[in-house]
Amino acid sequence: AQKITQTQPGMFVQEKEAVTLDCTYDTSDPSYGLFWYKQPSSGEMIFLIYQGSYDQQNATEGRYSLNFQKARKSANLVISASQLGDSAMYFCAMREEDSSYKLIFGSGTRLLVRP
Amino acid sequence: DAGVIQSPRHEVTEMGQEVTLRCKPISGHNSLFWYRQTMMRGLELLIYFNNNVPIDDSGMPEDRFSAKMPNASFSTLKIQPSEPRDSAVYFCASMGQGLGTEAFFGQGTRLTVV
């Protein structure tokens, strides 16, 4: 069964520094996708980045990159040059082909960027 | 496209009343998800549909909860009777086919049952 684990309930980072948010997953399906979403205090869910299980390279989107280690089943989000506006809740999610494209989320990590 | 549209944005109701939450997915998306978000339980998947067919409703907490998707452009989540512990933010999300498409979320419905 698919499972997503985020072990960091909360994290602090100094403005302009990089931060890594951890995500591990469990699946027996060779075909899956991994997503990261940001939820600011206003409540909306904002898509950040996607990594497919067959992608050879780590995904990058601006200041966001995904450190995908398939053998370890981890998909950590790296935010470079943190900004105050990065303070938010961050969710890792997974979608499997075998489970008819069910999309499940981890418990989230609350990131606070300090000035 | 206006994105995923949920209504109402806020709902306050008395315990025992019926509550209906509505969702209009993005046109062309064939998967629709209902999630519930609380501080204690995070973002829980309640039910999802592919091509208007319910695929997995194992996350629906009790028989008091029901969901329908009568056509590709509309879905409802109904709670009858509502209880205070149902208070949460309910999100609807839609996705296109395949693994590589992102989920688009509605703004959510904040439900308060008093």
Across the interface, whether the CB atoms of A47 and B104 are under 8 A apart is answered: yes
Of B33, B97, B108, the CB nearest to A103: B33
Is the Cβ of B93 closer than 8 Å to some Cβ of chain A?
Answer: yes
Using an 8 Å CB-CB cutoff, list chain B residues near A32.
99
> What's the pLDDT at B61?
87
Compute the distance between CA of residue A108 and CA of residue B107 in angstroms, rounded to an integer.
18
At A97 the pLDDT is: 84
pLDDT tens by residue, B19-35: 999 999 999 999 999 99
- Whether residues B105 and A108 touch (CB distance < 8 A) is answered with no
- The answer to whether the beta carbons of residues A24 and A73 sit under 8 Å apart is yes
Question: Is residue A1's pLDDT more than 80?
Answer: no
Buried b (16+ CB within 10 A) or exposed e, B2-37: eebbbeeeebebeeeeebebbbbbbeebbbbbbbbb
Exposure of B43 in the CB half-sphere (CA atoms within 13 A):
29
Q: Contacts of residue B100 in chain A, CB cutoff 8 Å?
A: 33, 50, 52
Please judge whether A47 and B50 are an interchain contact, meaning their C-beta atoms are less than 8 angstroms apart. Answer: no
Q: Which pLDDT tens digit goes with each residue over B46-76?
A: 999 999 999 999 999 889 999 999 999 999 9
Q: What is the pLDDT of residue A78?
A: 98
Handedness of CA A109, B109, B113, B16 (dihedral sign): negative
| Other beta carbons within 10 Å of A51 | 23
For A102, counting Cβ atoms within 10 Å of its Cβ (0-12 exposed, 13-18 middle, 19+ buried), the class is buried
Mind listing the pLDDT tens digit for each residue in B70-82?
999 999 999 999 9
Q: What is the pLDDT of residues A3-34, one digit of tens each?
A: 999 999 999 999 999 999 999 999 999 999 99
Cα separation, B114 vs A80, whole angstroms: 44
